[in-house]
Amino acid sequence: MGTDFEIIPFDPHTATDELWTLYFDQTEAAYREYEPEDPLLSRAKKKELTLSSLPNPYRNDYTYLVLAEGGAVPAASASMVVEAPGSPTYASNKHIGNLHGLSVSPKYRRQGLATRLVAHILRDMAIREPQVTELQVPAALETGHKFLERKGGTVSLVHSENRLYLKDADWAMIERWDAEGARRNPGTEILTVTEIPETDLQDYARAYTETINQQPLGGLQMKMEITPDQIRYMEKKSAEQGTVHTTIYTREADGRVGGLTETSYLGDLGHVARQMLTGVRQEYRGRGLGKLLKARMLLHIRREYPGVKYIVTGNADSNAPMMAINTALGFKKHLPVLLYTLKIKPELLK
């Protein structure tokens, strides 16, 4: 039986309830394939978060759904994110299309559907974002690796999700790192905030930009920058969405920001906290600030959010200094994700 497929844009702001249901059926099943056990965010909250995060002045988001059986059944989906002209790194990164969440329902695989969907998206991008010349695509599953290799993609980075189950953490060591760090740095102030104070905002943004660009990125060619405006934008969004974005950073005796670490926590998904960037500026390294910041954050999470069972973080496998700290804390590899780069060639649009 030949199945007719229809590819449609999924616009969260105009989608009907029926379309939202098809979208959730598709994307939740795709998520379950590599994460069979984790609790899912309720659909109502997920919808609220999606609506509140769009539009975003720093990025353009496009989502596509493939429907089968006369529109009654979801067969595939994918999303594309491209930096918007308002982004501070637009000039450096505007050629990159971040293709994520590409999934085809098992029943419809090996019929060329992902190939058709990618071609459709690229033709759409040629009109909407003609400056995009290459794709970055994360793939956690073997089927994704095979597909991307067939399309001519190459692995630019292995960026794994690592997890620390709090029951396995070495709390005695964590308390020691915290105490020793404070003792070795008597002139250092350690601040725990959900909003970066105005006095430190400019320097905090510089410290963040400096350290995030020092992460190994393998073959990826992209720049990262955070501006004070973006920090304020993100703080406002977090407050609106009910996400607690906690930053712990140091203010050194010379008044500069020495190091920082940040996490986010959403009460609706209270079993997990997400660890984002940890960075210590070059000139303040070797004084135990990295360990101090990580330890202080873990103690903070244990105290404030007793429902948290684990912390997730994403690191390049090649990031030796961060991996050393995380491994000592008890972080374990949970899900290796290969990040592919795929140059857009005419045959991909056919």
Ligand X SMILES: CC(C)(COP(=O)(O)OP(=O)(O)OC[C@H]1O[C@@H](n2cnc3c(N)ncnc32)[C@H](O)[C@@H]1OP(=O)(O)O)[C@@H](O)C(=O)NCCC(=O)NCCS
Cβ 43 to ligand X shortest distance, Å: 21
Q: Does 92 bind ligand X (CB under 6 A)?
A: no
Q: Does 67 bind ligand X (CB under 6 A)?
A: no
Beta bridge partners of 278: 261
Select from 39, 55, 85, 112 the one that contacts ligand X (CB under 6 A).
Answer: 112
Cβ 148 to ligand X shortest distance, Å: 5
Beta bridge partners of 8: 65
Which residue do the tokens 């229809």 mark?
Answer: 6
Select from 89, 92, 143, 221 the one that contacts ligand X (CB under 6 A).
Answer: 143
Cβ 137 to ligand X shortest distance, Å: 5
What Cα–Cα distance (Å) separates residue 12 from each residue in 64, 82, 174?
11, 17, 43
Nearer to ligand X, 103 or 261 (CB): 103
Q: Which stretch binds ligand X (CB under 6 A): 51-59, 81-89, 104-112, 201-209?
A: 104-112
Q: Does 336 bind ligand X (CB under 6 A)?
A: no
Give backbone dihedrals phi and psi of 52, rounded to 5 degrees, phi first: -75, -20
Which residue do the tokens 């949970």 mark?
Answer: 334
Which stretches of the chain are DSSP H helices? Answer: 17-34, 43-53, 90-93, 113-128, 142-150, 171-184, 198-212, 228-241, 289-304, 320-329
Neighbours of 107 (CB within 10 A): 10
Q: Does 309 bind ligand X (CB under 6 A)?
A: no
Select from 6, 11, 33, 304 the one that contacts ligand X (CB under 6 A).
Answer: 33
Q: Does 150 bind ligand X (CB under 6 A)?
A: yes
Select from 29, 141, 277, 335 the one that contacts ligand X (CB under 6 A).
Answer: 141
Select from 66, 125, 148, 293 the one that contacts ligand X (CB under 6 A).
Answer: 148
Give backbone dihedrals phi and psi of 159, rounded to 5 degrees, phi first: -120, 100
Size of the site for ligand X (CB under 6 A): 21
Kind and range of the H or E run holding 80:
strand 73-83
Nearer to ligand X, 326 or 341 (CB): 341
Q: Does 339 bind ligand X (CB under 6 A)?
A: no
Residue nearest to ligand X (CB): 144
Stretch 118-137: interaction string toward ligand X, x if CB under 6 A: -------------------x
Three-state secondary structure readout of 99-140:
EEEEEECHHHCCCCHHHHHHHHHHHHHHHHCCCCCEEEEEEC
Q: Does 110 bind ligand X (CB under 6 A)?
A: yes
Structure-block tokens of residue 279: 């960075």
Q: Which residues in this chain contact ligand X in the complex, by CB under 6 A?
A: 30, 33, 102-104, 109-115, 137, 139, 141, 143-144, 146-148, 150
